[in-house]
Amino acid sequence: MTDFFKNIPAIKYEGPNSTNEFAFRHYNPDEVILGKRMEDHLRFAAAYWHSFAWPGTDPFGGQTLERAWFGDTMAHAKLKADVAFEMFDILGVPFYAFHDADARPEGKTFAESLRNLEEIVDYLGVKQSTHKTQLLWGTANLFSHRRWMSGAATNPDPDVYAFAAATVKSCMDATMKLGGQNYVLWGGREGYETLLNTDMKAERDHAGRFLQQVVEYKYKIGFKGAILIEPKPQEPSKHQYDYDVATVYGFLKDFGLEKEVQTNIEQGHAILAGHSFEHEIATAAALGIFGSIDMNRNDYQSGWDTDQFPNNHAEKAVAFYEILRAGGYKTGGTNFDAKIRRQSLDPEDLILAHVGGMDTCARALKSAMALMQSGEMEAARNTRYAGWNTAAAKSMLTGSLDAAAARVPAENLDPQPISGRQERLENLWNRFV
C-alpha cells in the first residue's frame, strides 16, 4: 500500500439522502434494473492519463500537481500503477483505460520504450489478477512526442508511418495480453495545420490503409475485442480527419471497414463538432457503429476540450437514453476521459471527482431507464411513423420513383400536416429526470 489515498475509505452506496461526501447516492452497482446489474449497464472505466499522468498544465501555465510517481524510471511507473489500482479499489470501478505513454517511461530508442512497456504490462497484469479492475481499452499515444508533430499514419515522412505501425502493434499486443475488451485509435495529429503544405488525398489514403492493417493485425493475433475510432473535429490539429461520427462512417465505408470498426464517442468532442453528445450516439447507432463512450463535459463558453467530470444528470440522461435505444454496451463502457481542475491538488479531489461523475451517470441511467420502461416516448415515436406500416407505403421503397408518384392521383392523396408535439415530449422527458 502507498500512502497517497490514506484515510480515504472505499466508497459505498448509501442512498440519495446520504450527506457523506465519500458515499454514492445513486450508483448502486448490485441494483438490478431492466434485468441487469447497474455496474453491468454502466461499465465504468477510469482513465490512467488524466488521473495519473497529467501534471496540471494548461496552455498558459506549467505543472501544478506534485506526485511522488512523476519521473521517468520504471520505479516511478510501478508506483503510479500501485496508486492507480488503489484508486480503482476505492471507487470499485470495473475497468480502466491507458495509453502506452501514460504507463511507461519513454526510452531513448524504440527498443527501450518497448522493453519498458512490456515490463509495465506484466506489472499491470499481476495487478489485474489480484484486483477487480480489468482493462476496458488500450491505445497508443500518437500525439505527444515531437515525432508525431505532423501526424502518425498521415505523416509526410514514411519513417513515421513505420514508427506508428511499430507503436500501435506494441499497444495492440499489450491490450491483448491484458485481456482488453477494445482497442481505441484517436487521431489527434491525423489532420492538418494548414492546407498549404498538405496532400489531403495521400494522407487520407495512408490513414485508411493503416486502419485496414490494424484490423488485419487484430485477426492475425486473434484479438477478440472491438477496434474503435474516437472522432474529434479539431484540437490539437486545426482539422482532424475523424471529424465526427458521420465523417468516420464515410471513411470506414470508403476503406471497407464499416463492419470491422466502431466508434468511441466523447461528449466534449461532440460539442466541438457542433453536435450534441446524444446526436453522435444516435448517429452511430443508426449506422451500426456504436461502441463505447468517453464521458466528460466541456465548458460551454471556453470553446475547447476542457475534459471536466460530468455533473449534470439531466443532460447525461438524454445520452444514456440513446445508449439504451442502441441496445446498451457490448464491449464498450463509460470511460471517464475527464480530469480534475489544475487547482484540485488533494488526493480527495481525485476520488470525489469520480464519485460525482459516477453518481451523475447512475442518476442519468436511472432516469433514462424509467422513461424507457414507461414506453411512452417510444409509443409516441412509433405513432408518428405508423403510416409506414401499410403495404402501400412499404411498396414505395421497393418500387420506382414514378410508381410512388402514381399513388398521388390514383389514391387522391392529400397529406395533412400533423403536430410534431415537441413540447409535449419535452414535458414527458422532464417527468423522468
Which residues contact Co ion by CB under 5 A? 266, 294, 337
Nearer to ligand XUL by Cβ, of 26 and 279: the residue is 279
Q: Does 305 bind ligand XUL (CB under 6 A)?
A: yes
Q: Does 190 bind ligand XUL (CB under 6 A)?
A: no
- What sign does the dihedral 52-56-57-59 (CA atoms) show? positive
Sequence-distant (≥ 6) Cβ neighbours of residue 341 within 8 angstroms: 308
Q: Within 10 A of 65 (CB to CB), how many other CB atoms are there?
A: 17
Alpha-helix residue ranges (DSSP H) falling in 326-399: 347-374, 376-385, 391-398
Pick from ligand XUL, Co ion, none: which does 366 bind, CB < 5 to 8 A by kind? none
- Choose, by CB under 6 A, the member of 54, 186, 241, 320 that binds ligand XUL: 186
Burial call 374-389: b when 16+ CB within 10 Å, e when fewer: eeebeeeeeeeeeeee
> Taking Cα atoms as reference points, which of 305, 283, 188 lies closest to residue 239?
188
Pick from ligand XUL, Co ion, none: which does 178 bind, CB < 5 to 8 A by kind? none
Tell me, by CB under 6 A, how many residues bind ligand XUL.
Answer: 11
Planar angle of CA 102, 107, 109, nearest 5 degrees: 135
Nearer to Co ion by Cβ, of 100 and 294: the residue is 294
Q: How far apart are CA 342 and CA 22, in angstroms?
A: 21
In the block, which residue shows the cell 500501485?
Answer: 82
Q: Is residue 346 flagged as an active site residue?
A: no
Show the beta-strand stretches assigned E in 257-343: 261-266, 290-295, 334-336
Please report how close the Cβ of residue 337 comes to ligand XUL at its closest, in angstroms: 5
Cβ distance 298 to 267 under 8 Å? Answer: yes
Pick from ligand XUL, Co ion, none: which does 232 bind, CB < 5 to 8 A by kind? ligand XUL
- Choose, by CB under 6 A, the member of 88, 337, 429, 432 that binds ligand XUL: 337
Nearer to ligand XUL by Cβ, of 183 and 223: the residue is 183
Q: What CA dihedral angle connects 204, 161, 263 and 341, to 10 degrees?
A: -110
Among the listed residues 26, 41, 100, 102, the single catalytic one is 102
Nearer to Co ion by Cβ, of 190 and 294: the residue is 294
Please report how close the Cβ of residue 348 comes to Co ion at its closest, in angstroms: 25
**Which positions from 166 through 185 interact with ligand XUL, judged by CB under 6 A?**
184
Pick from ligand XUL, Co ion, none: which does 139 bind, CB < 5 to 8 A by kind? ligand XUL
Q: Is residue 99 flagged as an active site residue?
A: yes
Cβ distance 242 to 232 under 8 Å? Answer: yes
- Choose, by CB under 6 A, the member of 230, 242, 280, 322 that binds ligand XUL: 230
Catalytic residue numbers, as ranges: 99, 102
Contacts with ligand XUL, residue ranges (CB under 6 A): 99, 139, 184, 186, 188, 230, 232, 266, 294, 305, 337
